[in-house]
Amino acid sequence: MLEHAVGRADLTPRELADVRDVLETTGARDLVETKIGRLARQSLRHLAEATLEPGPADRLRALLSEITGTPRPGPGPDGPPLATAPAAARSEAAR
């Protein structure tokens, strides 16, 4: 199923639903989302250790939040940890 779908822009809505189902039932989606959260937290730690002006550092934190679909952490290393986006938001983003 996945080999057939990779790189194909012409998949039907049914084929796309089948791909989503495979990713959900195999746990692949959860695995990737867990890895995204881990890498985002690691990125925030590295950002906190970097010598950056507050403005650019805040912009980088905002971009990280935007591209990972996670809540925006507060400024500095003591901001709240990134968490996985709520299931409804992840589901909507996947469509």
Is the entire prediction scored with pTM above 0.75? Answer: no
Please provide the average confidence, as pLDDT, over all residues in the chain. 80
Residue 64 has pLDDT above 50, yes or no: yes
Per-residue pLDDT, 75: 56
Question: pLDDT of 30-45, one tens digit each?
Answer: 999 999 889 988 988 8
Give me the sign of the Cα torsion angle 9, 16, 40, 76. positive
Per-residue pLDDT, 73: 64
> What's CA 61's distance to the chain center, in Å?
14
pLDDT band at 11 (very low <50, low <70, confident <90, very high): very high
Which DSSP state fits 69? T
Per-residue pLDDT, 14: 96
The arithmetic mean of pLDDT across residues 4-9, rounded, is 93
Which DSSP state fits 22? H
